[in-house]
Amino acid sequence: MIKLLLRFDKISEKISFFLIILAVLISFYTLEPPPTDFVMLAGIGFALLSIIINRRFNFIKKYDWFLVAFLVFSSLQAVLSKNTNLLFHLVTVYLVFSYFAIKYVLVDKERVKKFISVYIISTLITAVSMILQLILFYTFDIKEISRFLYAKRPAGFFKDANVAGPTSVLSVVMLSYKYIEKGDFLRFLLPLFVVSLGIFISFSRTAVGGLGLAGLGFLIIFWPEINKNIKRLLAIIAALFLIAGFLLLYAPTRELTVLRYTKLVQKYDIGGRFFSWNTGLRGMVNNLGGSGSGSFESLSLEEQSREIEEEGVDKVLQDLGLKGELSQGDIIVTKSGETKVITRSAHSTYLRVIRENGIIGFLLLVAFFASLAAVSFKRIYSNYKKITWIVKVAFVGYIVYLASGLVIDTLHWRILWYATALLSASLEIDYAEKT
């Protein structure tokens, strides 16, 4: 009986790994309903089955307990708060479980490399689909393609170009390192060019800003390797300049390129992002215990509508530095003079968490992110030469996605949890091999 259970444990664990790899591979398609989530849920189920049979919990590290505590705390809030959006909370639970499941099955370097390979393939599919959308819509004027665009911006098979673009940043870091190391044009520089082009034509400032931050982190962490291959670094830089030149010279996208990339703060940021931040901070101060997962949009909508009703739209727009134009992000003034407020997002991971989960929930989640970052940084710089490139690359991507959370809501981004799991798993594999 024991032998049978142990055999079933190994089978369950292998099935879980296969399903998780498949989920990452097809994660380029997130239009409703996203098949990647159904596959990942099955992978989580088999991982849990294996954990229960094997009773192997050593993959949970000290810093992970902050995340466990956050999940328990937010779940209690979800039950007790009348404002909780249950579906939103369940998505959070699912993504945290996916983090632990991925960690559980990434037990050696070979599996980690397979995980990286399918992730890169997935981002390549996204980039190629975005490039085709750009050509078909802007060059050949095929209007049917517009159903795949996000505000006339290529999004691949993502619902939002602001997610499609940033999702590929980690892939660029990986391909950059491999090109610096190997110098293979077809295997690394060409895919790097394609994925980078996909990032730029998402016209996402978060994506391009993240790419810039990733580039800085890449230079700092990998300088000893880069210093030996400066010509290869120059080739990467030339590829990026070629992309920028194309977007400026390609007439159909020139105006959008200038609009998105030459002005840091747009009017819709003031009426949208800044308006949400302002409302969210005031709501947080009024309820330090948290309002419940997924409640940011509904509560902010009530508060913003009340503010406009009490003070008048002109006063609200004036306070935000705007002058009554028809649409200012989340504040919409119709031609008939009617005012509507549409709160699309918290526009910040950390503001959402502190508003919805309160000071305690916020501190628990930040403690988890910060602890993993601290452990990774310490191991990289205390033993630089022996730490594998995978740990260093994953660390760069991890920092980029944490930083992105300051200006965009990344809590439900799959890539945030993929990158976090990859860093944690590769860190522990590397550490186990050295001790």
Q: Kindly report which listed range (115-129, 306-320, 339-353) carries the lowest average pLDDT score.
A: 306-320
Alpha helix segments (H runs only) across 292-339? 296-311, 313-319
For 212, phi then psi, to 5°, come to -65, -45
Phi-psi region of 341 (alpha: psi -120 to 50; beta: other; left: phi over 0): beta
Q: Where are the domains of the chain?
A: 106-264
Let me know: does 410 contact 420? Beta carbons within 8 Å.
no
**Res. 319 pLDDT band, cuts 50 70 90:** low
Give whole-number Cα distances, 39 to 15, 18, 51, 94, 208, in Å: 11, 10, 18, 12, 30
Torsion 304-308-311-315 (CA) sign: positive
Cβ proximity of 173 and 218 under 8 Å = yes
- The model's pLDDT over 29-69, given as tens digits with 9 standing for 90+, comes to 988 889 999 999 999 999 999 998 877 888 999 999 999 99
> Which residues share a beta bridge with 150?
153
pLDDT in tens, 17-40: 999 999 999 999 988 889 999 999
- Mention every residue, 6+ apart, whose C-beta is less than 8 A from residue 101: 16, 20, 40, 43, 44, 47, 48
Asked whether residue 4 carries a pLDDT value surpassing 60, the answer given is no
Alpha helices, DSSP H, located in 312-405: 313-319, 349-382, 389-404
Q: What is the mean pLDDT of residues 137-149?
A: 90
- DSSP secondary structure letters along 32-88: SS-HHHHHHHHHHHHHHHHHHHHT--TTS-TTHHHHHHHHHHHHHHHHH-TT--HHH
Percent of all residues in the chain with a pLDDT value above 90, rounded to a whole number: 60
Per-residue confidence (pLDDT) for residue 327, from 0 to 100: 44
Identity at 11, one-letter amino acid code:
I
Query: Are the beta carbons of 368 and 404 closer than 8 angstroms?
Result: no
- Res. 250 pLDDT band, cuts 50 70 90: confident
Give the separation between CA 385 and CA 264, rounded to whole angstroms. Answer: 39
What residue has token string 């988890």?
Answer: 368
d(CA 368, CA 387): 22
Pairing of strands 153-154, 149-150: antiparallel
- The CA distances from residue 392 to 203, 209, 219, 337, 424, in Å, are 27, 20, 11, 54, 11
Separation between Cα atoms, residue 61 and residue 57, nearest integer Å: 9
- Assigned token pair, 278: 């302002």
300 touches 307 (CB < 8 A): no
Mean pLDDT of 203-221: 95
Q: Of 415, 431, 430, which Cα lies nearest the Cα of 98?
A: 415
Task: Convert the pLDDT of each residue in 228-248 to its tens digit.
Answer: 999 999 999 999 999 988 888
pLDDT at res. 346: 81
Query: Dihedral sign, CA of 227, 231, 234, 236?
Result: negative
Residue 324 is predicted with a pLDDT of 47
What is the tens place of the pLDDT at every residue in 149-191? 988 899 999 999 999 999 999 999 999 999 999 999 999 999 9
Whether residue 326 is predicted with pLDDT greater than 50 in this model: the reply is no
| Inter-residue contact 431 to 117 (CB < 8 Å) | no
